[in-house]
Structure 1
Amino acid sequence: MQIVGVTTQHEVYVASKTHKFRMNEMLVIEDASLYQPKGEVVETFSYNRYIPMGFDKGIADDQVLKTLEHIGYDIGADDIHLAKVRLFEEAIQPIQTGASVRHPHFDEISDLLVKTAPEEGLVLGEVKSTDFIDSTLPESLKGLLHIHDHNGLREQNGVPFVFDIRAMQQYPHIGVFGGSGSGKSFGLRVMLEELMKLQIPTLVFDPHFEMNFATEALDTKGTISYRERYTVVQIGQDVGVDFSALSTRDVERLLSAAGSLTESMVNVIQSVHKRKDSYQSFSDRIANLAEALELGKHKIEGMLNDGGMTRDELTRFSTFRKLLDQYGSLPLASVKGISWRVNRLYQAGLFQQNIRAIEQGIHTGKLVVVQGAVWLLQVFSSYVIGALYGKRRSFRDAKLQQKQGEFFPPFVVVTDEAHNFAPKGYDAPAKSVLKEIAQEGRKYGVFLIFATQRPTLLDETITAQLNSKFVFRTVRGTDIQTIKEETDLTHDEGKRLPYLRSGDVFVSSAIMGRTMAIRIRMAHSASPHTLNPFDELKKMKEQDSEQLLKALDSYFPLAEMNIMTHLTKLNQDAKKNWDVQTWKQQLDRLSSEGVIKKEKTPFATMYTRS
């Protein structure tokens, strides 16, 4: 391998007769006067004499051709492999044309590839095109992972990509971007496994009900088990909001997520909500006020003056009169709107639990997965993130003031479909607290990992604070443009984004100092949604057929005319509620599938077991 063509301080061309260059391959240039500069292949090109076209375009210009001829290449006969190499550091003078080029030893580029030890960082995958360096890797960096490649599962044969989580103190927050089927959710799962391995407290909002780590996808020979390192809670069943702990502003946020609030509705909340209100006291006050406004002051006074009421009725109408005296100027429609929103959240179970299970999980270093519908997660995340961040912040502030505060550990907040939690252009319940964490969280040890298919729809303030970005296959032009603006991806790398394989990712990180091409490792656990829906449909049909055969077995041979006689018992045995016509259709289906035989005789149509 040799340097050819016109060189500059930051780019050179390399040619070889035998070696086919690969994208992101690392090379060392034998130029002692420049301290052996190192670079990375950013464009490749091969020329074959049987297809003599293309030299007028692309990376092979006239200067390159002339250099190739001068150093002994036969342009008309040889296969020539060329690569455009971008240097990691700008040289003080142009590289010498004709200089030899070789693959590096690991020691020569270790500072570019590995920033921390595997046991202290997140082992997320393998740096692409580093198999040439595998033989010089130290033992501590070998055998750390498996890769799913073209030929199935294989062991690591390159440099592992170890993300330095400790450096997030200086360069906080991670963005994970990629379209559907790009491997984004798979990459996020691998990140979460690594966070569990290091026992870093993590709060995950899971709108897809897929962040479960009980199913093993890879035989880890008993060395890795996540069963005791995570907990899954569902809103309304395991966790909820302690209404009495909410401020009036918190109540506004929660109810706005159940349905947008008008200014009049906000005024109702600010007027009616009282400090330390329980759900019951607040909802009763709102419901009673709505009823009082509907009846009107004149009717209520008349009822109280007429007499003849029971004690309970007297108490009730006296309450109505007091409420009208206090809040009679509030519009009935707005009061009813607030009542509907409160009831909707209550019916979803939001006010029937507290967040103690989440706090315990964070305190014990677990990964806590919160599951629920997207709209409910938006509501709940506003409350729980604010509460936990407040506790962490109070502890750190007390420590700085040399006061005694209750310890609350640093933690990571992870959201999939992040554009739903912090959208660009309009408010969402959790947006303000997430923006605050994005801007100030690192001082308190609270960090964000945001995954989304649509980075363009994510709040720009938050996007700008994501110092490390994992970019999977992205097709939409607007999203690619956003990514290019927010990262140091080159024009050529941007052009490659729509064509990346699932599981391949560009990592643009201030921690690494440059963009790296990575292949995400095989996850140790599997998503519960891995079963193909068409396989699921086939499986259910097979199970249904087995159940029917089991119920029909004792009735074979079965005459079509006897179905009515056995109908009640057949439905009981098969756990169905079918009529005669449906049973005939199902028997004909089983017959067409070859499971049973259907024979027409002069007397009846008979069904028998095959």
Structure 2
Amino acid sequence: MKVVGITTQQEVFVGSKERNFRINEFIIIEDPYQGDLMGEVVEAKTFNRYIPLNIYGDFVDGSVLESLKALGYNVDEDTIYISKVRLLNEALYPVQTGSDVRLPEFYEVKDLMIKSSKEEGLVLGIIKNTDSIAADMGSEYKNLLYTFEESGLIPQREIPYILDIKSMHHYPHIGVFGGSGSGKSFGLRVVLEELMKLNIPTIVLDPHFEMDFSQVGDYMPSGMDGAFKEKFKCLQVGFHVGVKFEDLSAQDLKNLLDAASPLTDAMSNVVDVLFKRRDSFISFHNKLQMLTEAQEEGSLDRITIRITEAASNDEREAWLKRKELYLTYDKTCPYNSVKGIMWRLKRLDNEGVFSKDIREIEEGLQRGKLMVIQGSTRILQVFSTYLLNNLYHKRRDYKDALYKKTAADYFPPFIIVTDEAHNFAPKGYDSPSKSIIKEISQEGRKYGVFLILATQRPTLLDETITAQLNTKFIFRTVRASDIQTIKEETDLTEEESRRLPYLRTGDVFISSASMGRTIFARIRAAITCSPHTENPFDELKNKGKEDDEKFLNLIKDKLPINDTDLLHVITEIEKESRVTYTIDNLEDRLMQMVDKGHIRKEETIFGYRYKEV
């Protein structure tokens, strides 16, 4: 392999007769004047004289061909392999044409590719096209994982990609981008498995109910059952966790109500005026209700009449209380605004938001667990606004107290993970959860709070937040606007950007500020699997078989069945199983069994008869 053509300090062409080149593989150029220079193949082509194509395009020009001939290559006869190589570090001078090129040894690339040990980092996958270098790497880097290929589960052959989690202190936050079916959720699952292995406290906002780690994939070797059983917990908003109303501040309550439906300035003022610290849900709701009932009377005179005409002492006391609220708040709290607050408050209560508290989440984080918070996207938007504000400020207050040398309860550093992140921090408009996520993206590093945000549409994610994501996992992406956003936010080259729509599921470009460059990798096979892995068409087929078996069990001791006996058969079925049929329904079901070959239908002189096959 030789350097050919006109060279620069950043890029060269390399030609070979014996060896084809692979995209993203590493090679070493032995420049006689500058020493060994490490480079990465960014483009590769093969040609010979039998290929009727113009090779004098952008990639291979006349100087390259002249160099090949001068170095002894027979361009007219031989198959020639040519690659464009980008140097990892800019050379002092243009590379010497004719320099020898060789593959590197593992020790020459170790510091470049491995930034952490397997015990302290996240073992996420393999660095593609490094199998030739990996042959002589140490045993501590071998047999760490499996990858999925077309042929099934494959043991590791390449150098492992180990994410240095400690580098997040300097280069915080991770973005996971990719279209549907690209492997994005699969990659996120692998990241979460690795966080559990290291017992790093993590909160996962899971709008798809898929981040359950109790089921080990049936493709994995035996012996891994229960690998994460004690390391995670799934909690549903409104069932297991919620908001303790007594712990809310006025701002917390406004955030929650605004998430239910946007607040007007007048509504915001109602909360500021009426809500008192340590109010319970009942006391605050009753205050709103009594004020609206007084306002509905329309005047002080009519309220006074209700007091004098009260049928009991309790009723009189209640109207006296309404009168007091009316005199105090009527002018500052308009009727429509109070009703709007009541409607939003009732909506949140009906969804169970105020039925529980977040103590279980706090305890799980203190024990280093991964806490999966499940619910619809809207409920998670509402709940995460309160949850993230609460937990982030607990961690922040602890760190501030350490700095001020005052007493404070310990709260651990933690990571916040969410799929469909553009719903929680959208570009172009405000959402309740956006402000706290933006604050964490800008200041969380100082306090040990980090974000991992996954989305199919990076273009729809708030730009301030996207700019703070120092490590980005980029899976297959098709939309031009998303590719443009990725190009602006990463160091992906033009060649790599063109490859994005064609990446295989599970292949990923990892652009990391801590690595200083983009790595082309393949995510390892996840140990666990999503509860939603069954193909929906298989589900339909299996459900149909199950229903057929149940029906056959109902009728098998009643066969043969004459069409004149259908009413009698229906009566027997209802007694045995409480399943109700009409004659038309039963006849239709029997014909389905005939079509599927489970029973047969024959014609007699008295009509039709259904018999066993």
Quick check: 2:308–2:316 contact (8 Å CA) kept in 1? no
Q: Out of 536, 544, 548, which is 1:545 matched to?
A: 548
Identify the range of structure 1 (472-481 vs 161-170) with the bigger mean alpha-carbon deviation.
472-481
The amino acid across from 1:300 in the alignment is: I
3-state SS in 2 of match to 1:119 = coil
- What is the rounded CA distance, in whole Å, between the counterparts of 2:23 and 2:577 in structure 1? 60
- What is the rounded CA distance, in whole Å, between the counterparts of 1:5 and 1:575 in structure 2? 84
Quick check: 2:182–2:475 contact (8 Å CA) kept in 1? yes
Identify the range of structure 1 (329-338 vs 99-108) with the bigger mean alpha-carbon deviation.
329-338
Aligned to 2:532: 529
Quick check: 1:205–1:371 contact (8 Å CA) kept in 2? yes
Aligned to 2:83: 83
1:261 counterpart = 2:252: no
Aligned to 2:456: 453
Quick check: 1:220–1:524 contact (8 Å CA) kept in 2? no
- What is the rounded CA distance, in whole Å, between the counterparts of 2:543 and 2:496 in structure 1? 44
- What is the rounded CA distance, in whole Å, between the counterparts of 1:150 and 1:93 in structure 2? 44
Quick check: 2:32–2:96 contact (8 Å CA) kept in 1? no
Quick check: 1:231–1:368 contact (8 Å CA) kept in 2? yes
Quick check: 1:472–1:503 contact (8 Å CA) kept in 2? yes
Q: Out of 484, 488, 492, which is 1:489 matched to?
A: 492
1:476 counterpart = 2:496: no
User: What are structure 1's unaligned runs of at least 5 residues?
Assistant: none
Q: 1:215 to 1:563 in 2, by over 3 A?
A: same
Q: How does 1:127-138 map to 2 (within 5 A)?
A: 127-138=127-138
Residue 7 of structure 1: CA displacement? Answer: 1.2
Q: How does 1:77-226 map to 2 (within 5 A)?
A: 77-217=77-217, 218-222=219-223, 225-226=227-228
Quick check: 2:32–2:99 contact (8 Å CA) kept in 1? no
- What is the rounded CA distance, in whole Å, between the counterparts of 2:507 and 2:582 in structure 1? 54
3-state SS in 2 of match to 1:594 = coil
Residue 221 of structure 1: CA displacement? Answer: 4.3
Aligned to 2:323: 321
3-state SS in 2 of match to 1:585 = helix
Q: Output the TM-score relative to the length of structure 2.
A: 0.97
Superposed CA offset, 1:11-38 (max 9, x none): 1111112212111011011224322101
3-state SS in 2 of match to 1:136 = coil
Residue 264 of structure 1: CA displacement? Answer: 2.0
1:578 counterpart = 2:581: yes
Residue 295 of structure 1: CA displacement? Answer: 2.7
3-state SS in 1 of match to 2:119 = helix
Q: 1:541 to 1:242 in 2, by over 3 A?
A: same
Q: How does 1:332-347 map to 2 (within 5 A)?
A: 332-347=335-350
- What is the rounded CA distance, in whole Å, between the counterparts of 1:332 and 1:226 in structure 2? 53
- What is the rounded CA distance, in whole Å, between the counterparts of 1:346 and 1:535 in structure 2? 39
3-state SS in 1 of match to 2:23 = coil
Residue 58 of structure 1: CA displacement? Answer: 3.8
Quick check: 2:348–2:354 contact (8 Å CA) kept in 1? yes
Q: Out of 276, 282, 285, which is 2:284 matched to?
A: 282
Q: How does 1:374-385 map to 2 (within 5 A)?
A: 374-385=377-388
The amino acid across from 1:33 in the alignment is: Y
- What is the rounded CA distance, in whole Å, between the counterparts of 2:211 and 2:446 in structure 1? 29
Aligned to 2:29: 29
Superposed CA offset, 1:48-67 (max 9, x none): 33213131224111011111
Aligned to 2:3: 3
The amino acid across from 2:255 in the alignment is: R
Residue 400 of structure 1: CA displacement? Answer: 1.1
Quick check: 1:547–1:574 contact (8 Å CA) kept in 2? no
Superposed CA offset, 1:375-429 (max 9, x none): 1100110111111111111111111112221111100000111111111121111
- What is the rounded CA distance, in whole Å, between the counterparts of 1:473 and 1:194 in structure 2? 22
Aligned to 1:350: 353
Q: 1:409 to 1:510 in 2, by over 3 A?
A: same
Paired positions, count: 609
The amino acid across from 2:523 in the alignment is: I
Percent identical pairs in the alignment equals 50
Residue 363 of structure 1: CA displacement? Answer: 0.4
- What is the rounded CA distance, in whole Å, between the counterparts of 2:605 and 2:290 in structure 1? 76
The amino acid across from 2:257 in the alignment is: L
- What is the rounded CA distance, in whole Å, between the counterparts of 2:65 and 2:393 in structure 1? 65
The amino acid across from 1:321 in the alignment is: K
- What is the rounded CA distance, in whole Å, between the counterparts of 1:560 and 1:290 in structure 2? 67
- What is the rounded CA distance, in whole Å, between the counterparts of 1:534 and 1:415 in structure 2? 29
Quick check: 1:548–1:574 contact (8 Å CA) kept in 2? no
